């Protein structure tokens, strides 16, 4: 479990100043990405569903820094909480972009010429001071909330557009695809995992979380973003870790798939509020805000696992865990594979470690995002600048 109390605000400020000091390296005109899409870079924000190495940069003993994480595609741990690629990686491949450099691993502006990843595992939409005021254990809540990630991005944008800052920034923003998360689920998770009241403390968080996402979306639009993907949260009642955490002897608490109804209802409550927010943001016609339906994407896989190569038996069971009815008796997969119940073929499983998905499941979701099944509206393929 992560310990973040030693990561100070001074470190955050120094990282931002470092980003602002990097020299300009991006060319003002890039060829359009092939494959029908017209984006020359991508920038992503969020948490462990999107993080490609930021957490392990300052927390080298994080679970994702050890095997069996990364075993399927990269052959070694990369800081991704999966056995391989994430949705953001499959989006980069579709845009013919390199895998995004994690912000904390970059050294020069050249590293971010085609985009950057600011997502940090376990991070939240709300700031760490909010959780401090509520008396939560801050050693597992990193000080890299959505606001901090936005400041990192501003520093990178400044470093990439230092000659004619205003015009170059506008060009970069217009030619880039932005992935806003998923972000917000950890605001709830940190409360769940510290035994806080669902009715009194967790459910009332939703408007505050949505307001933070709305603010970040508006900031990017004001900076010139034209195309932004904003995912909802997955069905929490189908996640093995939550099924293990909240067992019930009442069969009516579960749906026909075996998922917890009340937790899925909560996910839908968040996603409905997120959709309403996106529809209510004032913007010009050249700005496209796209909702990504991670909820329905994951639920569809669980409904018909065999259709995508998964086994029905493993639909709600983690590939890598430490036992229990869902093989999700701990927060994440044990880094020591010999002490974990590790499945022989992750491609047959939906859940990787009880909280995060396998590369195979992320691939199915990314495919649906790209073909419009889980994106509303669909991602524009033509140039909007």
Out of 41, 44, 48, 340, the active site residue is: 48
Check if the beta carbon of residue 56 is closer than 8 Å to that of residue 192: no
CA 198 to each of CA 46, 137, 161, 193, 268: distance values in angstroms, whole numbers, following the listed order: 23, 17, 45, 11, 15
Q: How far apart are CA 149 and CA 145, in angstroms?
A: 6
Out of 121, 123, 353, 363, the active site residue is: 353
Residue 155 in tokens: 């520093």
272 is catalytic: no
Out of 191, 356, 363, 375, the active site residue is: 356
Check if the beta carbon of residue 47 is closer than 8 Å to that of residue 122: yes
356 is catalytic: yes
* Count of other CB atoms within 10 angstroms of residue 265: 12
Q: Are strands 41-45 and 176-180 parallel, antiparallel or unpaired?
A: parallel
Residue 242 in tokens: 């939550």
Q: How far apart are CA 296 and CA 275, in angstroms?
A: 14
User: What is the separation, in whole angstroms, between the first and last Cα of the chain?
Assistant: 44
Least Cα distance to 178 among 44, 357, 298, 299 occurs for 44
Least Cα distance to 266 among 303, 237, 297, 238 occurs for 237
Check if the beta carbon of residue 79 is closer than 8 Å to that of residue 32: no
Q: How far apart are CA 125 and CA 209, in angstroms?
A: 6
Question: Which residues form the catalytic set?
Answer: 48, 353, 356
């Amino acid at each position: 479990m992560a310990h973040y109390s030693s990561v100070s605000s001074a470190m955050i400020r120094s990282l931002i100043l470092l980003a602002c000091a990097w020299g300009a390296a991006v060319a003002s005109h890039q060829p359009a990405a092939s494959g029908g899409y017209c984006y020359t870079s991508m920038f992503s924000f969020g948490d462990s569903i999107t993080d490609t190495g930021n957490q392990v940069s300052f927390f080298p003993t994080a679970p994702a820094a050890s095997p069996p994480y990364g075993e399927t595609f990269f052959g070694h741990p990369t800081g991704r909480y999966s056995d391989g690629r994430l949705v953001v990686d499959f989006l980069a491949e579709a845009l013919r972009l390199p895998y995004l450099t994690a912000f904390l691993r970059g050294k020069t502006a050249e590293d971010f010429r085609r985009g950057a990843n600011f997502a940090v595992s376990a991070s939240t939409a709300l700031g760490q001071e909010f959780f401090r005021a509520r008396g939560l254990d801050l050693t597992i809540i990193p000080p890299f909330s959505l606001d901090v990630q936005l400041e990192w991005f501003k520093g990178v944008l400044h470093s990439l557009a230092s000659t004619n800052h205003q015009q170059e920034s506008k060009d970069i923003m217009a030619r880039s695809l932005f992935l806003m998360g998923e972000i917000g689920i950890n605001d709830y998770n940190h409360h769940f995992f510290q035994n806080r009241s669902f009715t009194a403390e967790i459910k009332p968080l939703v408007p505050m979380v949505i307001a933070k996402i709305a603010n970040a979306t508006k900031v990017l639009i004001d900076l010139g973003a034209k195309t932004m993907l904003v995912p909802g949260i997955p069905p929490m009642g189908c996640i093995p870790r939550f099924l293990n955490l909240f067992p019930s002897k009442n069969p009516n608490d579960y749906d026909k798939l075996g998922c917890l109804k009340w937790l899925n209802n909560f996910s839908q409550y968040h996603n409905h509020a997120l959709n309403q927010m996106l529809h209510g943001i004032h913007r010009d016609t050249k700005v496209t805000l796209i909702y990504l339906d991670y909820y329905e994407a994951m639920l569809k896989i669980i409904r018909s696992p065999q259709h995508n190569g998964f086994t029905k038996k493993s639909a709600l069971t983690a590939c890598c865990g430490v036992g229990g009815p869902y093989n999700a008796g701990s927060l994440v997969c044990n880094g020591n594979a010999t002490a974990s119940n590790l499945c022989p073929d992750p491609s047959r499983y939906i859940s990787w470690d009880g909280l995060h998905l396998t590369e195979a499941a992320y691939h199915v979701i990314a495919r649906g995002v790209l073909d419009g099944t889980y994106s509303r509206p669909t991602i524009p393929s033509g140039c909007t600048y």
